[in-house]
Chains A and B, each alone.
Chain A
Amino acid sequence: EDQVTQSPEALRLQEGESSSLNCSYTVSGLRGLFWYRQDPGKGPEFLFTLYSAGEEKEKERLKATLTKKESFLHITAPKPEDSATYLCAVQDNYGQNFVFGPGTRLSVLP
């Protein structure tokens, strides 16, 4: 059974203080790993898709990386508007559905 864990559960940063969020997964054949950002009461907003170990994607202050067991979402010089819950999901080679992790709740203080 596919499993996804995320750490830390919550993270408070000062504006400009870079950090990383972790997503560890167990899957029988990874088809894709997905990062989403979710604001309270809103739908998840797509950020990145990673397909194979060693792959990296960047968008503004965010950079996602992938290994065979985990993915990191690096946040460089975050701003208060980066405050949100960041969700990681995996899709295996056998199914269509995603398995989501519980998320990391990020707060960036001005």
Chain B
Amino acid sequence: DSGVTQTPKHLITATGQRVTLRCSPRSGDLSVYWYQQSLDQGLQFLIQYYNGEERAKGNILERFSAQQFPDLHSELNLSSLELGDSALYFCASSGRGSGNTQYFGPGTRLTVL
């Protein structure tokens, strides 16, 4: 158990809809990262937050947004969903003496029908 939690585990929705994925980092970690993993693309970095502020952006679509709250949990919002957004979404956190190492949560499997 990495100490990173994600909810929900599974999400099934329709095209055009909007969903919110939630992540709680390890206790004391200030950085949260979001990744997308689809069958044909591997793990793709989306965005990083550090102590509530956006720190780095990867290949995140404009339809996607994220935020980190004062209690350090983070949410990833996906809107105007398309079939191609179906993937596993992982959250990772780092800090608290772990250096640069990122610890991953169990993921949310999103299926868009």
Q: Which residues of A contact B (CB under 8 A)?
A: 31-32, 34, 36, 41-46, 49, 87, 89, 91, 95-103
Q: A87 touching B101 by the CB < 8 A rule? A: no
Given A43-B2, A46-B2: A97 and B58 interface contact (C-beta under 8 Å): yes
Does chain A have a CB within 8 A of B84?
A: no
State the Cβ distance, B87 to closest chain A Cβ, in Å: 12
Given A96-B48, A97-B56, A97-B58: A44 and B43 interface contact (C-beta under 8 Å): yes
Given A43-B90, A45-B2: A97 and B48 interface contact (C-beta under 8 Å): yes
Given A32-B100, A100-B42, A100-B43: A41 and B33 interface contact (C-beta under 8 Å): no
Given A42-B107, A44-B90: A97 and B100 interface contact (C-beta under 8 Å): no
Q: B106 touching A43 by the CB < 8 A rule? A: yes
Contacts of A100 in B (CB 8 A): 42-45
Q: A96 touching B106 by the CB < 8 A rule? A: no
State the Cβ distance, A4 to closest chain B Cβ, in Å: 10
Interface size range of chain B in the complex: 20 to 34
Contacts of A49 in B (CB 8 A): 99-101
State the Cβ distance, A85 to closest chain B Cβ, in Å: 10
- Most B CB within 10 A of own CB, among A44, A99, A102: A44
Q: B42 touching A103 by the CB < 8 A rule? A: yes
Q: B33 touching A97 by the CB < 8 A rule? A: yes
Given A31-B100, A95-B56, A96-B31: A43 and B105 interface contact (C-beta under 8 Å): yes
For chain B, residues 78 to 113, give those with C-beta under 8 angstroms from any C-beta of chain A: 88, 90, 99-107, 109
